Structure 1
Amino acid sequence: MSEAVGRESAQRIDRWLCHARIVRTRADAADLVRAGYVRVNGVRVAGVTRTVHPGDIITVALDRGPRLLRVLGFAARRGSADEARGLVEDITKT
């Protein structure tokens, strides 16, 4: 896990989606938010500057279906897939 994880108490939703490897780029994350496909704790996100905190539940509508994700931590940059797994818990019911 990245040593930067846990230093921040909040992070912008677009950065978190990218660093947690939910989407490939931060621009893709911003597009999802602007299109209304992202919710934080059940409330639609109005803009990319919305911050998320550990424990928040993120709902993201992706092509392969909606995903429910719990924020576990943050990273200073987009790291490896192993590092990304430490940032998110997928609680989507399958």
Structure 2
Amino acid sequence: MSEPDSGPARQRLDKWLWHARFFKTRTLAAKVVTEGRVRLGGEKVVKPAQPVGAGDVLTFPAGERVRVVEIKAILDRRGPASEAQAAYDDHSPAPVPRVGPRPTGRDRRRLDAARDDS
């Protein structure tokens, strides 16, 4: 009989992204990986079954920002958010602050008038 693998714990990339609550479904996580939008240690990954483990650095889009996370632990289940957040270190750049609200119609007319005068 073979003995269990005593090496570091590994898990599928799409499963880890789903367990860590970056995506609502595992299918969405797999789709992002398949589209080549996830990088593992700087290298593009296109297979959702790519094994990942502690110490790996992932870069992927999440909404309007880019997330850079270092895996600290492999999760056995999709648990509460506090448990998921303990499984990674977030090295993402700070989100770009919004300039302000959209200009109203009145504001745009003033801008257009100012441009026409110049």
TM interval, short-chain normalised = 0.7 to 0.9
Segments ≥4 residues shifted beyond 2 Å: none
Match in the other structure for 1:61 = 61
Cα distance in 2 for partners of 1:63, 1:85 equals 18
Does the 8 A contact of 2:39 with 2:58 survive in 1?
A: yes
More helix by share: 2
Cα distance in 1 for partners of 2:82, 2:22 equals 13
Match in the other structure for 2:73 = 73
Cα distance in 2 for partners of 1:43, 1:74 equals 20
Match in the other structure for 1:22 = 22
State the identity %. Answer: 34
Note the C-alpha offset of 1:22: 0.8
User: 1:2-41 to 2 correspondence within 5 Å?
Assistant: 9-41=9-41
Cα distance in 2 for partners of 1:83, 1:62 equals 19
Helix, strand or coil at the partner of 1:84: helix
Helix, strand or coil at the partner of 1:28: helix
Kindly tell me the number of residue pairs found equivalent between the two proteins. 87
Gaps of 5+ in 2: 1-7, 95-118
Note the C-alpha offset of 1:64: 1.8
Cα distance in 2 for partners of 1:11, 1:36 equals 19
